[in-house]
Amino acid sequence: MKPAPFRYHRARDVHGTTQLLAELGEDAKVIAGGQSLVAMMNFRLARPRHLVDIGALRELDHLGVGPDGALRIGALTTHHTVETAPDEVLGTGFAVLRRAMGWIGHLPIRARGTVGGSIAHADATAEWCLLAVALGARLRVAGPGGQRLLPAEGFFLGPYTSVLEPDELLTEIVFPRPAPHAALTEFAERKGDFALVSAVVDLDIGAGRVRGGRVGLGGVAPVPVRVPAAEAVLAGGGSFAECAAVAAAAVDPPDDAGGSTAYRRQLVRALVERACTEAAEATERREAGRR
């Protein structure tokens, strides 16, 4: 199908964008890469009367590690840019993000889709939403009155819903600390499809032993979640299999056409254990330079 008519606005800078969004109100949508929004507009599931294109805001297309060791990703950075980022850009301890990109759609989707767009879209199974929650990212948001920095946990309110106000723009995603022993894995019926269940594990490894870690899951709740019970198993010296079993018992996944609750629990168990193993095996040197 073809999208409904709309008025097209091209943003010139961040401040102007938020001012324009404030003027236009609820009838406006921001478009970045458009890999979710244009499909929804073609189906007329979304019918914004105004479209604000931020594609020209080059100041939002950046990627690099600051002096504080945090990785800063501009909202307009594409998945493909992260996927192909050399070590000197991505910094030490963030290769998990590069490896995770292969799970997002296909090459042409990753070439257009943006990190900020994915997070602002707030799909409960999106890889970036899960990575942000599991790895404790902070999200910089600009509004007409200034900017705020929000923890990713708490940013998502439900499927396709976040705390972003209609006049606000997500400008930057900050991963505050390296995650050298982390992995994302997921299951989808077909390669490149939306994940049925996805898992991120970020292990704290010291002196060759697992001392704790973070476990995050997508596709088991309306938003990506962390699983404290499973993290407690890791902190207590439990095995990866125990951690996975506890994670599966702790969640209450939806029962729908994609899969039953029981099936999704099985997936949680398999994927958490797999992510734990991959996270433990992840070392920065082995994959230097290439995905």
Partner 1 sequence: MTTHPRPPDAADADALALQAPELQLMVLDVNGERHEVITEPRRTLVDVLRHELRLTGTHVGCEHGICGACTVLVDDRPVRACLMFAAQAEGARIRTVESLSAGSCGRPDELGDLQRAFRERHALQCGFCTPGFLMLAEGFLAERPDADREQIREVVAANLCRCTGYQPIVEAIEQCAAARRAARSDVRKEK
Could you list the residues that contact partner 1 (CB under 8 A)?
1-8, 10, 31, 34-35, 38-39, 41-43, 47, 49, 51, 53, 55-56, 80, 105-109, 111-112, 191-192
113 or 216: CB nearest partner 1: 113
Q: Yes or no: say if 250 and 172 are a contact pair by the CB < 8 Å rule.
A: no
Q: Tokens 């409904």 — which residue?
A: 4
Give the nearest distance from C-beta 157 to partner 1 in angstroms: 26
Give the nearest distance from C-beta 244 to partner 1 in angstroms: 27
13 or 255: CB nearest partner 1: 13
The residues that bridge with 138 in the sheet, in sequence order, are 151, 174
Give the nearest distance from C-beta 3 to partner 1 in angstroms: 5
Q: Yes or no: say if 291 and 98 are a contact pair by the CB < 8 Å rule.
A: yes
Give the nearest distance from C-beta 37 to partner 1 in angstroms: 9
The Cβ of residue 58 has, within 10 Å, a number of other Cβ atoms equal to 9
139 or 184: CB nearest partner 1: 184
86 or 236: CB nearest partner 1: 86
Give the nearest distance from C-beta 82 to partner 1 in angstroms: 14
7 or 148: CB nearest partner 1: 7
